[in-house]
Amino acid sequence: MIEASGRKEVIDEQVSLGGLESTVGFILRLAQVAVFKDLLAALKPFDLRVTDLSVLLVIEATPGLQQRAIGEVLRIQRPNLVTIIDQLETRGLVRRGPVPGDRRAYALSLTPAGEALLKKAKAAHARHDRKVLDALGDLDKDRMLAALERIAAL
| pTM of the shown model | 0.80
pLDDT at 101: 77
The rounded distance, in Å, linking the Cα atoms of 120 and 91 is 16
Q: Is the pLDDT of residue 10 over 60?
A: no
Contact in structure between 61 and 55 (CB atoms under 8 Å): no
pLDDT tens across 25-76, in order? 999 999 999 999 999 999 999 999 999 999 999 999 998 898 889 999 999 9
Q: Is the pLDDT of residue 3 over 80?
A: no
CA distances from 101 to 64, 105, 107 (A): 14, 9, 12
Q: Which CATH number is 47-152's, of 3.40.50.10260, 3.40.50.970, 2.40.50.140, 1.10.10.10?
A: 1.10.10.10
pLDDT tens across 109-131, in order? 999 999 999 999 999 999 999 99
Torsion of CA 110, 113, 115, 120, to 10 degrees: -140
Question: Domain locations in the chain?
Answer: 47-152
